Homo-oligomer: A and B are copies of this chain.
Amino acid sequence: MKIYGDSISGNCLKVKWTADFLGIPYDWVETDVVRAETRTPEFLALNPAGQVPAVVLDDGRPLAQSNAIMLHLAEGSRLIPEDAYDRARMFEWLFWEQYSHEPYVAVARFQVKYLGRPAAELEPKIVDRGRAALQRLEDALAEKPFLVGEAPTLADVALVAYTRVADEGGFDLAAYPALQAWIDRVERALGIAAAEAA
């Protein structure tokens, strides 16, 4: 399998961490978003949405969307709950992540860290909704170790990706103690080195 990804992107790291955790071999093809390497004709033939991550499976077929790739790689593994309701809750978190978390928490970080925009000049909607997303996670994790059940699932993989670096977008993680403890727990469970470029 080839993973086309940008190492600064949490969406891409999700796929890498899932493959690493499950022992699935891959070649990583570094694809620079800022330099528009996702907009070349070759890349658009692979993923018409022009986004990383995208993978080419061993049989040559392409697949895109970070959470769809993770689901495919993790099928039948312990990262997807066997119980139907727990699995449904995992899906709920995966879709919430892409709709209500990533567009604020990840976008703030991208604008601040990679486009050089001062955090104080972020669009208020991005800041407000990013904080709301972090608070929702804080509330959800106040009394349980992982988002669904007693062990990490793809919901934790997806949501830790940008939450662990939210401070780079101007969010103060010190305000969310349960979230900080969960980040440590997920990083340890997945074997994500704290020093990993993210």
Q: Mark A residues whose CB is within 8 Å of B.
A: 48-49, 57, 61, 63-69, 71-72, 75, 84-85, 87-89, 91-92, 94-96, 98-100, 102-103, 136, 139-140
Contacts and interface: CB of A to CB of B under 8 A. Distances in A.
Q: Is the interface of A mostly helix, strand, loop or mixed?
A: helix
Nearest to A84: B75
Q: Copies of this chain, how many?
A: 2
Contacts of A98: 95, 98-99
A64 B49 contact: no
B85 A65 contact: no
A49 B88 contact: no
Closest 8 CB pairs of A and B: A68-B91, A72-B88, A68-B92, A65-B95, A65-B92, A98-B99, A67-B95, A98-B98
Contacts of A89: 63, 68
A91 B103 contact: no
Nearest to A70: B91
Nearest to A54: B92
Residue with the greatest number of chain B CB neighbours at <10 A, chosen from A49, A65, A139? A65
B92 A64 contact: yes
B49 A100 contact: yes
A67 B97 CA distance: 13
